[in-house]
Structure 1
Amino acid sequence: MTAKISAGQSILETVKTVVYALLIAGVFRTLFFQPFWIPSGSMKETLLIGDFLFVNKMAYGYSYASCPSLRIASVGIDVDAKDICGFLDGENTRILGSEPERGDVVVFRHPVQGADFIKRVVGLPGDKLQMKDGLLFINEEPVGREDAGNFEELMARQGPQGSHPRCENAPVGQGGSCLKSRQIETLPGGSKHVVLNITNQGVDHTGVYQVPAGHYFFMGDNRDNSNDSRMPQTAGGVGFVPYENLIGRADRIIFSSAGRSMLFFWTWRSDRYFKAVE
């Protein structure tokens, strides 16, 4: 009898330990840092497919979007942030909130789809933005732009999705050198970052976007391969992002995998350990 009781107590203690560990991890992820793995090439070269980073959730304070979503389709789990923290939704405010700065790289919740996106803040509330021949204008002034050679990568399947990169020098055969024009962009306030160009397309020529109060305008650094605020939500784009939808700021890459899984340690990129996100 004693052995059976001891075995039962052991199982109970194990279950309690797992539950406590999950609760602690949930609190840590909600309040401090959320892991994020880059799934697409919309932020190249700043962020590459397979970069793994922690998002600083203390940077802008907390809203309903700070609560984690848990989606595991294979076992039917679909718990949305609104299911947990929906009581905080609706006022476009934040607890202990602070404003993002122009040039910050931010993870945010898509206003319609609810998925997590990562882009760069280029437009603040009240700004007027426009793309003219591929050049960004903010409040009727062109941003600074300097040529900086080419961004080069291998034409091969990338990441778990196995997608091929788009190339300015297309067509490029498998294993060939895929090139994109590279420029250094300087935003008002002095923030500098790399942007890439692939081709001339519709989002290089737009009307004027007036950013509403309490909202932000986001763009990907890989300008011709980014679904961002240049496309309205009605057309499947991001549109203007409410303040409460911000999740946190991307500050530093922890490690990066060039393979199909971040578990394939032999594909990790040695030059990206603890690399600052600029």
Structure 2
Amino acid sequence: MATKVQAGNSIVETIKTIVYALLIAGVFRTLFFQPFWIPSGSMKETLLIGDFLFVNKMAYGYSYASCPSVKLARLGVDIDAEDICGFLDGDNTRLFGGTPERGDVAVFRHPVNNTDFIKRLVGLPGDKIQVKNGVLFINDKPVALKDAADFEEVMERQGPQGRFPRCQNDAPVGDGGVCKKTRQIETLPNGVEHTILNIGNQSTDHTGVYLVPDGHYFFMGDNRDNSTDSRVPQSAGGVGFVPYENLIGRADRIMFSSAGRSMLYFWTWRSDRFFKGIK
């Protein structure tokens, strides 16, 4: 009898341990750092498909978007941050709010479909933003650009979605075909330097003037011709202006990077991207 009681107590303690661990992990993820795996090439070459990083939630403080979403399609679990913290949504404020800086690479919730996006912040509240012939203008002044060597990658399927990269050249598929994109170094008004990539003349290379509203931000992908961002309004399927409360956190450092179909394929991890700082 004693053995059965001890076994029962052991099971209860194990369950308690698992529950406590999940609660601690949930609090940690909500308050401090959120894991994020890069699914697309919209931020190349700053971020590659398969980069795994932690988002610093303390950088901007906390809002409803800070609450975690739990989506397990195979188990039918779909709990959104709004389901947990929706009562905080709508006032566009933050608790212990920090001020985002131009040039930050940040994760935010799409204002309409609630998907998590990662882009570079280029427009602050009150800024006038426009893109002319592929050049970013901030408050009527073009950003500084310096040409760099072409960005090259193998023309092969990438990431879990298995998509081929978009190229400027007519790159052959297979047999080591090389996909090329024009690369430039862009310097924002506050001195933040980063590389941007271009494929060719696109509709988003020519925009109207956007006046960023108070309490909102304007984001763009570094892979300029392969990014859904604030250049396209929400009514047309884009991101549009992002409210302050939709910011989740700042991406500061890549922990590791997988070139394979899964981040668990450790033999495909890129040796040059461990603990790499994000600029």
Aligned to 2:239: 238
3-state SS of 1:10 partner = helix
TM-score normalised by the chain length of structure 2:
0.99
| Cα deviation 1:53-106 (Å, max 9, x = unaligned) | 000000000000000000111111000101111111111000000110000000
Aligned to 2:132: 132
3-state SS of 1:252 partner = strand
Do the aligned residues in 1 keep the contact of 2:130 with 2:137 (CA within 8 Å)? yes
Task: Please state how far the C-alpha of 1:171 moved relative to its aligned partner.
Answer: 4.3
Between the aligned partners of 1:259 and 1:73, the Cα distance in structure 2 is 22
1:251 and 2:271 are equivalent in the alignment: no
Between the aligned partners of 1:98 and 1:124, the Cα distance in structure 2 is 14
| Cα deviation 1:218-261 (Å, max 9, x = unaligned) | 00000000000001111111000000000000000000000011
3-state SS of 1:206 partner = coil
Do the aligned residues in 1 keep the contact of 2:155 with 2:171 (CA within 8 Å)? no
Between the aligned partners of 2:171 and 2:236, the Cα distance in structure 1 is 28
TM-score normalised by the chain length of structure 1:
0.99
Instruction: Give the letter for the 2:249 counterpart.
Output: G
3-state SS of 2:17 partner = helix
Between the aligned partners of 2:228 and 2:170, the Cα distance in structure 1 is 21
Aligned Cα root-mean-square deviation (Å): 0.7
Between the aligned partners of 2:28 and 2:61, the Cα distance in structure 1 is 14
Aligned to 1:82: 82
Aligned to 2:224: 223
Task: Please state how far the C-alpha of 1:172 moved relative to its aligned partner.
Answer: 2.7
Aligned to 1:262: 263
3-state SS of 2:276 partner = coil
Mapping for residues 101-140 of structure 1, pairs under 5 Å? 101-140=101-140
Between the aligned partners of 2:75 and 2:254, the Cα distance in structure 1 is 30
Q: How many residues align?
A: 278
Task: Please state how far the C-alpha of 1:168 moved relative to its aligned partner.
Answer: 0.3
Mapping for residues 184-195 of structure 1, pairs under 5 Å? 184-195=185-196
Instruction: Give the letter for the 1:271 counterpart.
Output: D
3-state SS of 1:147 partner = strand
Unaligned runs of 5+ in 1: none
Task: Please state how far the C-alpha of 1:4 moved relative to its aligned partner.
Answer: 1.3
Task: Please state how far the C-alpha of 1:214 moved relative to its aligned partner.
Answer: 0.2
